[in-house]
């Protein structure tokens, strides 16, 4: 875990192999358990996550700080509101 500027740990969550809507549902559950300002880094392989996770962040007010793709793996860096 890497420290953040606001002193919360960065949490990694791998939802590879799970299909829609499970990546978003698991990210939501984990984010709800985290303090405001904390960062969740989600790794997913479901192509729909490239649409679903940014939409979820926009709807819930979380900041999607980074989104990337390497091969068939998607990575999202989400800061909890």
- Per-residue pLDDT for 2 more than 60? no
pLDDT tens per residue, range 13-62:
999 999 999 999 999 999 999 999 999 999 999 999 999 999 999 999 99
Q: Using CA atoms, how far apart are residues 38 and 22, in angstroms rounded to an integer? A: 21
Predicted confidence band of residue 6 (pLDDT cuts 50, 70, 90): low
User: Which residues are marked as active site?
Assistant: 20
Q: Could you write out the three-class secondary structure of the chain?
A: CCECCCCCEEEEEECCCCCCCHHHHHHHHHHHCCCCCCEEEEEECCCCHHHHHHHHHHHHCCEEEEEEEECCEEEEEEECC
Tokens (6 digits) for 8: 């919360």
Torsion, Cα 50 53 27 9, to 10 degrees, reads 90
The domains located in the chain, with CATH, are 10-79 (3.30.110.40)
Residue 13, pLDDT score: 98
């Amino acid at each position: 875990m890497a420290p953040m500027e606001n002193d919360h740990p960065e949490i990694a969550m791998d939802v590879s192999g799970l299909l829609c809507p499970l990546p978003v549902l698991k990210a939501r559950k984990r984010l709800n358990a985290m303090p405001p300002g904390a960062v969740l880094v989600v790794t997913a392989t479901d192509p729909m996550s490239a649409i679903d996770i940014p939409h979820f962040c926009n709807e819930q007010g979380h900041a999607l700080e980074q989104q990337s793709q390497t091969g068939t793996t998607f990575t999202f860096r989400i800061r909890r509101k």
